[in-house]
């Protein structure tokens, strides 16, 4: 039996009322016919026990994306020497939880090791290196990934091709060749083109549409377009605009997904900014809900504590649905509402109902078959359900909180 230290247990008990709220975002997304609601994560935060508790909560997260550990500089730091340790940690975590894994990414202009960026290449030698990398990585993770972001961010803002080492050495054919190589290594995995600022109509979205057509013109498989969704509070494209753009992609016979959603604000955070952020998150998720072949939504980490935004955009942050203390923000409720669920507040237990479900979850976290895994089942003043669903036990933490574990 593993015993937690008193310090870790105290921390976990202090956070559990905020971290565990019964039915959540993934439950609601699946009830709406989507495959998942998920989050990105990265290896450094996996040492944070309270963080991992929520990451493992499949009521909220049915899918995980490795933020950095499958990128080229991590996996192939020297030519033809592959290191999968970090990526495997996240892949194994997702597998243990029964969560889908969106694998990210195979070909990108950034986070390349120096042997790639400083090498002396010809068309033939760079193609060989690219195909070798893709074949090794996709083969290693064969059967683990729902999808691969095969090519990431190949476009400039005007829709022209980015002057990456891939484009300048190989030309646009590197895209269909990359997709064909990935398909050969794992014929069953979904293959995506992934980019930002392609969520609304304009030159860059047109460029993304042209990439899909290019790959298809080679007779090569492309299954989806990933819309990253790195937005700014108050400047997020409208729900109708996003839905219209998604429809343009799906009209080409591919699925779409929101792959890296966060909505940042100029700090400090205020009630007005949080309210607008809630609206922006809700509209974006609702666009996916309204699009038949939008399969799911991934947020780019779930807590402000580990967001990439503050270190990248000076003076900006607070981009995630949970704050840095793991408390749900109004954005959480906005997402849940867009997915057809309801919540009494941004930090209280949510409710989701579905005609396809075997039981109906109430705002107290109870159901016809008992309180769900992770739900509250007791404590001073608790008036909700006190019997856990089959397989779980109501576990006492303190006089104010017991939980189904």
Catalytic positions are 260
Cα–Cα distance measured from residue 341 to residue 17, given in angstroms and rounded to the nearest whole number: 19
Tokens of 355: 């005609």
Cα–Cα distance measured from residue 109 to residue 313, given in angstroms and rounded to the nearest whole number: 20
Specify whether the CB–CB gap between 45 and 7 falls below 8 A: no
Q: What does the angle CA 98 – CA 363 – CA 99 come to, to the nearest 5 degrees?
A: 10
Alpha carbon separation from 148 to 141, 151, 381 (Å, rounded):
10, 9, 48
Cα–Cα distance measured from residue 94 to residue 270, given in angstroms and rounded to the nearest whole number: 35
HSE of 196, CA atoms in CB hemisphere, 13 A: 10
Concatenating the DSSP letter of every residue in 320-366 gives SSB-TTSPBPHHHHHHHHHTT-EESSTTS-EE---TTSSS---TTS-
Contact partners, residue 202, CB within 8 Å, separation at least 6: 159
Tokens of 114: 């120096």
Alpha carbon separation from 149 to 39, 107, 133, 345 (Å, rounded):
15, 8, 14, 35
- Is beta strand 350-351 parallel, antiparallel or unpaired with respect to 394-398? unpaired
Cα–Cα distance measured from residue 58 to residue 232, given in angstroms and rounded to the nearest whole number: 28
Cα–Cα distance measured from residue 301 to residue 393, given in angstroms and rounded to the nearest whole number: 30
Cα–Cα distance measured from residue 348 to residue 363, given in angstroms and rounded to the nearest whole number: 8
- Is beta strand 255-266 parallel, antiparallel or unpaired with respect to 230-232? parallel
DSSP class of residue 388? B
DSSP strands (E only) in 180-254: 190-195, 224-227, 230-232
User: Which among 287, 289, 325 is positioned nearest to 305, based on CA atoms?
Assistant: 325
């Amino acid at each position: 039996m593993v015993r937690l230290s008193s310090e870790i247990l105290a921390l976990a008990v202090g956070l559990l009322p905020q971290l565990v709220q019964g039915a959540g975002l993934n439950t609601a997304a699946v009830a709406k016919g989507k495959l998942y609601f998920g989050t990105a994560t990265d290896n450094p935060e996996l040492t944070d026990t309270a963080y991992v508790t929520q990451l493992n909560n499949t009521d909220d997260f049915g899918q995980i994306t490795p933020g950095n550990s499958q990128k080229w500089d991590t996996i192939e730091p020297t030519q033809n020497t592959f290191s999968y340790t970090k990526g495997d940690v996240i892949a194994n975590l997702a597998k243990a939880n029964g969560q889908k894994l969106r694998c990210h990414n195979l070909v990108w202009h950034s986070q390349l090791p120096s042997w790639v960026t400083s090498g002396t290449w010809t068309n033939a030698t760079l193609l060989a290196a690219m195909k070798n990398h893709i074949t090794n990585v996709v083969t290693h993770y064969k059967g683990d990934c729902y999808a691969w972001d095969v090519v990431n961010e190949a476009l400039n803002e005007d829709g022209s091709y980015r002057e990456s080492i891939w484009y300048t050495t190989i030309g646009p054919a590197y895209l269909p060749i990359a997709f064909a190589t990935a398909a050969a290594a794992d014929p069953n995995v979904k293959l995506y083109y992934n980019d930002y600022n392609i969520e609304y109509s304009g030159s860059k979205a047109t460029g993304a549409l042209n990439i899909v057509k290019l790959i298809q013109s080679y007779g090569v498989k492309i299954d989806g377009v990933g819309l990253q969704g790195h937005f700014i509070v108050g400047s997020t494209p409208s729900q109708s605009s996003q839905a219209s753009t998604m429809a343009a992609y799906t009209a080409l016979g591919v699925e779409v997904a929101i792959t890296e959603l966060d909505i940042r604000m100029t700090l400090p955070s205020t009630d007005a900014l949080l309210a607008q952020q809630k609206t922006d998150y809700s509209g974006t998720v609702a666009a996916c809900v309204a699009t038949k072949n939008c399969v799911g939504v991934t947020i780019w980490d779930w807590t402000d504590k580990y967001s990439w935004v503050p270190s990248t955009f000076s003076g900006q942050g607070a981009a995630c649905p949970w704050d840095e203390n793991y408390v749900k923000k109004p954005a959480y409720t906005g997402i849940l509402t867009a997915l057809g669920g309801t919540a009494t507040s941004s930090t209280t237990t949510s409710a989701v109902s579905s005609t396809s479900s075997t039981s109906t979850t109430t705002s107290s976290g109870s159901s016809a078959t008992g309180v769900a895994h992770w739900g509250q089942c007791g404590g001073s003043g608790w008036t909700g359900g006190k019997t856990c669903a089959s397989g779980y036990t109501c576990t006492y933490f303190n006089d104010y909180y017991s939980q189904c574990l």
